[in-house]
Chains A and B, each alone.
Chain A
């Protein structure tokens, strides 16, 4: 398929199918643009005409509330026209193949696909059947690059730099697409990542993601960390029994008020949401002074505006009112 290159020189990409496509410089470009768009989101009228006339298709083949809402707001605040596909009423439920779904939607002349699916590699397949730009909004257990970018933006705002930053990621690493994007991105930017989980929740080769350390002991790791990134325990997967009980998981890996003294005073706590209170985090920590969880949600809109804007080649670098 003929692949039209993005003419925008500051960000020379057509798609974002995986975080590995972005250089450290590219990532910083997105974060800098996100900062500009943050200002738009603080206005009374939260909208710019930058992408008026562009059509974005939100193809969410797996249920999603926050990611989809965040993308939709970002698109609308850029003045894109949007169409939503997927979900329980979609034709894929009626047996249509993914490729046929893409061909159908592509025939409607959309400019961008935002793709969420429970199978790894789906955004790549989409990109093979359309000339439109494609953003991976989470593919199976592979990647979730915009989550990584919003996490990076949040961390960057709080910490100012990634160089030498010590980041610990705690929980179900093996099933986490967030880790698939965040760990390599942090490593690329110079941070030092420690994965903290029992072996039953680790992938075969965590080092290939870019993790510097792997440990099963949260209490030993905690005192060094500048960022503590808590992953969600996926209750729907508990039949696979990677740990004996929620109680024991909470005892060994829960970030609790009792563990707060082990943390650096200026350490921040991230979580991709939704939180299971009383499992990976207690309410004291989730709502406490270390927590930047709501900042992450806000960052999501800013970062997604920046990315859509950059990929769809916004007219110029001015963001006018």
Chain B
């Protein structure tokens, strides 16, 4: 199959590209990138004047829930949601059942994702067996089978000695440890950010310090072991300062921010106790929103990741304190970032591409695709002016636990090429 993508604004800061181009995709790679290419009969032409083409979006933080929780999400539906959201590559988390802590589960995830064919899945393996934080998982074998990174996401590794062992051991594979920073002693049964909202709503507080003490610990341990550390879903102003300081000292630390922590805050949680505003870590203060946006601009934040965490309606439709943590995010990420960061004037498209395409590939140690001939054809096309309303009905994810339902967004993915295969065409996921 040969495609001609016509009239797109091609943006790729890695090769200094930001200009209108026609692009030919053939045999899984980019065959031509020119100012104007005449269509030939063997081409399928996609007229996309006004749209933007960028290297494929990558999400380093996705819960596919499969195996084990297929009623929340399956690899088929989760990867379809990824394609719908404009992603070519995602990194799946290890808190499946059974836990992704051995090569057989890595194989399962990759095989199922290949079968579905909606996007490339790079599974993360668990750092510790059963995510118990007690003994090392078989990282070497998992790497041999395709694990892209390691994480016990969903919980923090409590014992500092254990975390050091994880990092010492992981270092030999040149993989990043992705750390969910949460000190259980400080966080306890915390439900929402500790502060005025936790006080007013009578909910146990989840203090910023519960995240920050582990961020600092992990930066110190990265310094000690030389193992690269990636701080997941960072939410607090002080946590950002810790990463900033670490980077200034030359520590191999990176971090991610989620669209929801950039845009929503604890004050959005009111006496309606909306469980779609319950996630871990919790929504922080307005001041933290501003600090995150600043950190996205100044380079402290390396990537935008969604922490896509589907839950069934019956699980969320209950008492706040009993509802599970987490919200979906794959299908709203680009729209939120384009609306609240790009359109709002905080960053330009080049920075967005760094945050959502280039830096995630660096962290996952996967091929750095570009918009030039010869590169693997992982391309996301989106309409930067499309205005749309987020609706539960329009989603491909099996779950609709999104706080953004009803939001009016600007910017929507139209087409995705994943290794040259058209996985999203004109906003519709291909079969």
Question: Could you tell me if A177 and B319 are in contact, using CB atoms closer than 8 angstroms?
Answer: no
Cβ-neighbour of B196 out of A117, A121, A204 (below 8 A): A204
Q: Does A141 contact B (CB under 8 A)?
A: yes
Question: Could you tell me if B317 and A124 are in contact, using CB atoms closer than 8 angstroms?
Answer: no
Interface 9-mer from A38-46, A205-213, A285-293: A205-213
Shortest distance from the beta carbon of A212 to any chain B beta carbon, whole Å:
15
Q: Does A32 contact B (CB under 8 A)?
A: no
> A291 CA to B161 CA in the complex, in Å?
55
- Given the interface contacts A204-B194, A204-B196, does A142 sit within 8 Å of B201 by beta carbon? yes
> A117 CA to B205 CA in the complex, in Å?
19
Q: Does B389 contact A (CB under 8 A)?
A: no
Q: Is the interface of B mostly helix, strand, loop or mixed?
A: loop
Q: B190-211 CB contact bits vs A (8 Å, 1 = yes)? A: 0000111011111111010000
Cβ-neighbour of A119 out of B196, B205, B320 (below 8 A): B320
Q: Does A299 contact B (CB under 8 A)?
A: no
Question: Could you tell me if B273 and A121 are in contact, using CB atoms closer than 8 angstroms?
Answer: yes
Q: B269-305 CB contact bits vs A (8 Å, 1 = yes)? A: 0011100000000000000000000000000000000
Q: Does A217 contact B (CB under 8 A)?
A: no
Cβ-neighbour of B273 out of A124, A143, A203 (below 8 A): A124
Question: Could you tell me if B202 and A142 are in contact, using CB atoms closer than 8 angstroms?
Answer: yes
Shortest distance from the beta carbon of B168 to any chain A beta carbon, whole Å:
35
Shortest distance from the beta carbon of B321 to any chain A beta carbon, whole Å:
5
Q: Does A18 contact B (CB under 8 A)?
A: yes
Q: Does A200 contact B (CB under 8 A)?
A: no
> A17 CA to B195 CA in the complex, in Å?
22
Contact residues in A for B196 (Cβ distance below 8 Å): 204-205, 208
> A206 CA to B320 CA in the complex, in Å?
22
Question: Could you tell me if B201 and A203 are in contact, using CB atoms closer than 8 angstroms?
Answer: no
Query: Nearest chain-A residue to B191 (Cβ)?
Result: A120
> A206 CA to B205 CA in the complex, in Å?
13
Q: Does B44 contact A (CB under 8 A)?
A: no
| Contact-size category for B | 20 to 34
Question: Could you tell me if B272 and A124 are in contact, using CB atoms closer than 8 angstroms?
Answer: yes
> A300 CA to B376 CA in the complex, in Å?
74
Contact residues in A for B204 (Cβ distance below 8 Å): 141
- Given the interface contacts A119-B320, A122-B319, A209-B200, does A204 sit within 8 Å of B205 by beta carbon? yes
Contact residues in B for A125 (Cβ distance below 8 Å): 273, 318-319
Q: Does B45 contact A (CB under 8 A)?
A: no
Output the residue of A18, A98, A120, A122 with the most chain B CB within 10 A: A120
Q: Does B322 contact A (CB under 8 A)?
A: yes
Q: Does A84 contact B (CB under 8 A)?
A: no
Question: Could you tell me if B273 and A204 are in contact, using CB atoms closer than 8 angstroms?
Answer: no
> A20 CA to B201 CA in the complex, in Å?
12
> A21 CA to B204 CA in the complex, in Å?
23
- Given the interface contacts A124-B271, A204-B194, does A209 sit within 8 Å of B320 by beta carbon? no
Question: Could you tell me if B317 and A208 are in contact, using CB atoms closer than 8 angstroms?
Answer: no
Shortest distance from the beta carbon of A296 to any chain B beta carbon, whole Å:
22
- Given the interface contacts A97-B314, A98-B318, does A121 sit within 8 Å of B198 by beta carbon? no
Q: Does A180 contact B (CB under 8 A)?
A: yes
Contact residues in B for A99 (Cβ distance below 8 Å): 317-318
> A17 CA to B272 CA in the complex, in Å?
10
Question: Could you tell me if B201 and A120 are in contact, using CB atoms closer than 8 angstroms?
Answer: yes
Shortest distance from the beta carbon of B355 to any chain A beta carbon, whole Å:
32
Q: Does A314 contact B (CB under 8 A)?
A: no
- Given the interface contacts A97-B314, A97-B318, A120-B321, does A177 sit within 8 Å of B271 by beta carbon? no
Question: Could you tell me if A119 and B322 are in contact, using CB atoms closer than 8 angstroms?
Answer: yes
Q: Does A192 contact B (CB under 8 A)?
A: no
> A180 CA to B197 CA in the complex, in Å?
12
Cβ-neighbour of B321 out of A17, A124, A140, A180 (below 8 A): A140
> A17 CA to B322 CA in the complex, in Å?
19
Contact residues in A for B319 (Cβ distance below 8 Å): 98, 117, 119-122, 125
> A303 CA to B175 CA in the complex, in Å?
65
A98-B318, A139-B202, A206-B199 are known; give 12 further A-B pairs, CB within 8 A: A17-B271, A18-B271, A119-B322, A120-B203, A120-B273, A120-B319, A120-B321, A122-B319, A142-B202, A204-B195, A204-B199, A205-B196
Could you give 22 example pairs across A and B, Cβ below 8 Å?
A17-B271, A97-B317, A98-B318, A98-B319, A99-B317, A117-B319, A120-B203, A120-B320, A121-B201, A124-B272, A142-B201, A142-B202, A203-B199, A204-B194, A204-B195, A204-B198, A204-B205, A205-B195, A205-B199, A206-B199, A209-B199, A209-B200
